[in-house]
Amino acid sequence: MKKLRVFPHRDRPLALLLKERLAAEGIVCLVRNDELSTALGEIPFVECSPELWVVDDEVYPRARLLLDQWLTAAEEVAADWTCPDCGEQIEGQFEVCWKCGKEIISDER
Ligand SMILES: [Zn+2]
């Protein structure tokens, strides 16, 4: 078994989603430090970050690649925003509209 990625505690649903997606690709994964261990109260909170593990070492490089692609794609999709003032489509790495100079707060995206 190889550890693929450690997620912040709040990203537990993401860890589970990625486990499902990897399973659909034929890659068997486990999520460790799941909510059950938190509920037992024996592990300090900071150690409860969910960890995604690949069961079969041989498919680890492929799992790694898929995961990177998905996470990059997810960031790009979430990033684009439309300027509320002039309607210009802005790429996510910018926080100011290049057309009218309007600054965006991430909550408004
Ligand atoms: Zn604008």
Express each pLDDT in 20-67 by its tens digit: 999 999 999 999 886 554 555 555 555 578 899 999 999 999 999 999
Q: How far is the CA of 92 from the centre of ligand 1 (A)?
A: 14
Phi, psi of 70 (to 5 degrees): -65, -40
What residues pair up with 2 in beta bridges, in sequence order?
54
Residue 59 half-sphere exposure, CB side, CA atoms within 13 Å?
A: 14
Q: How far is the CA of 75 from the centre of ligand 1 (A)?
A: 22
Task: State CA 41 to chain mean position distance.
Answer: 26
The pLDDT-based confidence of 11 (bands split at 50, 70, 90) is confident
Q: How far is the CA of 96 from the centre of ligand 1 (A)?
A: 8
What residues pair up with 96 in beta bridges, in sequence order?
103
Q: How far is the CA of 107 from the centre of ligand 1 (A)?
A: 16
Q: How far is the CA of 98 from the centre of ligand 1 (A)?
A: 7
Q: State the pLDDT at residue 16.
A: 92
Q: How far is the CA of 91 from the centre of ligand 1 (A)?
A: 12
Task: State CA 44 to chain mean position distance.
Answer: 23
